[in-house]
Amino acid sequence: MTLVSIIMPYYKKEHYLKSTIESILNQTHQNFEIILVDDQVDDKSFFFLRDILNLDSRIKLIKNDKNEGAGESRNKAIKNAKGEYIAFCDCDDLWKKEKLETQLNFMKNSNLDFSHTSYDIIDENNKIISFREAKNIISFKKLVNSCDIGLSTVMIRRKIFENNKYQFPRLVTKEDYVLWIIMAKNDVVIKGINANLTSWRKIKNSLSSSTLQKLLDGYKVYRVFLRYGKLKSFYCLIRLSINFILKN
């Protein structure tokens, strides 16, 4: 049975992590390892995550020496992963029980290196507030215009990361968006499964919900990582923002 490495950077999500872990432990596909990366790096996270490790022997912990951010934490976990496939899950999101099995079968049958799924958006109380449908194929051109891939829905064949240019950058938000764009630009085929297999949690006042931070990092996507000019970067940021508003 195929081994999947599930990568989870941890930072101040103690209210949700156990539920997230349980949604993974309940998967129909059971051959996996969970790699938690402690990016909170304090006594509180040490004792909390120590108890989480006792839930299952497949849970492993990497402790950062200092706060590195989600991107660097994922890069570190990828280097320690043993699975043939890498799956990502944020510590407050949830998986439907058939997520891994469905996605693995889809990728093997289609010989894919990258896949993602449809997902619903939930609030702090698990109430569904919206839905995102996975597109069949997302090209570089489409991805530049709109960020339509949920991180916790993504599965990637591990061999892809043997190419050093495929790493998460140091950004507060949109670090995953940058990596998907770079992969698409280099002709990695990105296909979606039109099946709702994930729940993404929207939390008020979180980094991912900060409008100003999203705008700052969105500009960097184009100016720094795609090396567009200032005007083009600003234009792309406006287009990205409009598409985001339209989706909501």
Q: Is 231 helix (H, G, I), strand (E, B) or coil?
A: helix
Give the integer Cα–Cα distance in Å for 111 and 90.
Answer: 26
Note whether residue 227 is domain-resident: no
Q: Which residues of the chain have pLDDT under 70?
A: 205-209, 248
Note whether residue 147 is domain-resident: yes
Domain CATH for 130: 3.90.550.10
Note whether residue 243 is domain-resident: no
Give the domain extent around 66: 4-204
Note whether residue 41 is domain-resident: yes
Note whether residue 213 is domain-resident: no
Q: Is 64 helix (H, G, I), strand (E, B) or coil?
A: coil
CB count within 10 Å of CB 187 equals 8
Structure tokens that stand for 162 in this block = 């043997």
> For 111, which DSSP code?
T
Q: Are 150 and 143 in contact (CB under 8 A)?
A: no
> Could you read off the pLDDT of 38-70 as tens digits, one per residue?
999 999 999 999 999 999 999 999 999 999 999
**Structural domain tally of the chain?**
1
Note whether residue 234 is domain-resident: no
Q: Are 128 and 237 in contact (CB under 8 A)?
A: no
Q: Are 85 and 158 in contact (CB under 8 A)?
A: yes
Residue 204: the pLDDT is 77
Helix, strand, coil shares, percent, the chain, to 5: 40, 20, 35
Note whether residue 139 is domain-resident: yes
Note whether residue 220 is domain-resident: no
* Nearest alpha carbon to residue 166 among 213, 225, 220, 84: 225
Q: Are 33 and 81 in contact (CB under 8 A)?
A: yes
Residue 134: the pLDDT is 96
